Amino acid sequence: MSNTLPPLPYAYNALEPYINEQIMTLHHTKHHQTYVNALNAAEAAYAKASTPKERIALQAALKFNGGGHINHSLFWKNLAPSAAAGKGNGGVLKDGPLKSAIEQVWGSLDALKKEFNTATLGIQGSGWGWLGYNTQTKRLEIATTPNQDPLLSLVPIIGVDIWEHAFYLQYLNVKPDYLNAIWNVINFEEAEARLVEASGNSKL
């Protein structure tokens, strides 16, 4: 089945002033659409491939564009209009399973943000910063992946795109400013729903 570009759950300008309309429009309609188109082309070519060599040759395109589609589809839901800007619930972590799970590991949301941003800034080039759930240890962990690699070792709870196309038009090369700002539009309600689903238990 062909992959399609998912609609944003908010307007392109809804995340301002933290992520501006121009970035969101280009990021969604151009960058994500390109991953979708290229993934569909790679899948079609794979279906027609008649030899192992041909199928192996398509692995890189499937991984890159498939990861781009998976990661961005999660990323859009990860964000919400900001409470600090009086627009929505973005950036607000209420009492509940997610807050408890964060405090269990880091002590506070601010401590998580600091460690998350430090780890994500350590990415060489492009990639993603993740807050993930380890189904073995039943704890949250911070992880990073290069390029468009999806998070496979953990269940993704929050993902932050650190590709330049996600921030450069607004923050230029100052990645720390972007990472500090994005917490104002993180949809913690969506993240908590993912955590509850991953853990299979609303009473974490």
41-65 tens-digit pLDDT: 999 999 999 999 999 999 999 999 9
Q: Is 110 annotated as a binding residue?
A: no
Does pTM top 0.75 for this prediction? yes
Distance CA(22)–CA(166), nearest Å, equals 10
Q: Is 69 annotated as a binding residue?
A: no
CA-to-CA dists, residue 17 to 6, 78, 84, angstroms: 23, 17, 10
Q: Which amino acid is at 52?
A: P
Q: Is 177 annotated as a binding residue?
A: no
73-91 tens-digit pLDDT: 999 999 999 999 999 999 9
